[in-house]
Amino acid sequence: MSRRAKPGLVLVPGLLCDALLWQAQIEALEGRIECWVADHTRSETMAGVAADVLREVPFERFALAGLSMGGYVALEIMRQAPGRVSRLALLDTGARADTPEQLAKREGLISLATRGRFIGVAQALLPLLLHRSRLGDSELVSTVKQMAVNIGKDAFIRQERAIMSRIDSLPFLPGIACPALVLCGRQDALTPVERQRGNGSSDPRRSPARARGLRPSLDA
């Protein structure tokens, strides 16, 4: 008799993040859950990023977790292939499209990176990505910076373009049929709790929780 296959879990990192973001979770789930980290760096539209993930994911049906940009990707995956997702976790993310102010800030970061100051982008984002009490943690800060280096300038620009292309998913949320979790950092500077409250609606399957910063898988 063949052994039952382990459940599959697709993990989608945030902006300027890679598999290092999920390392602790992957290690904790080893032997029980088959984890797979999506590559979200190749397309310049959110629809394209989600299609990339769906084309390469090694599971027919899977649980899905996305953090920040990864949450935007997860919502687009739900839009394109809802029947393949058994459970959904949206971490420090939002369902609304960017405001004009947010779009302008992203254009500014793209301009900074294009002018050869990509390392400055990662440095400027640090206080927004990590809780202020963790900015002195050299190992944590080094991990965040290393992920940015791993992603690189060109992929960062594609990621920002994809984020800017996403549509407002708030009207889409009530139609999500699978069990879902919404978890947010209490002091998330990029996606404040007030902005994330709309992700949960009043559906009892969606349970807002509290962590610390924007990277709860690292900053806990």
Q: How far apart are the first and last CA of the chain?
A: 41
Region class of 109: left (phi > 0), else alpha (psi between -120 and 50), else beta: alpha
The pLDDT assigned to 119 comes to 83
Q: Exposure of 74 by Cβ count < 10 A (0-12 exposed, 13-18 middle, 19+ buried)?
A: buried
Return the amino acid letter for 59. F
pLDDT tens track for 6-26: 899 999 999 999 999 999 999
Over the chain (220 residues), what is each successive 10-residue block's mean pLDDT? 73 96 95 97 98 98 97 98 97 92 95 89 83 86 93 97 96 94 73 54 44 52
pLDDT of 183 reads: 87
Q: How many residues does the chain have?
A: 220
Would you give the distance in Å from CA 117 to the centre of its chain? Answer: 24
DSSP one-letter string for 8-23: EEEEE--TT--GGGGH
CA distances to 5, 29, 77, 123, 198 from 61, in Å: 12, 18, 12, 38, 27
Whole-angstrom CA distances from 186 to 40, 68, 107, 119, 170 are: 26, 14, 27, 27, 21
Task: State residue 211's pLDDT score.
Answer: 46
Specify the pLDDT at position 126: 85
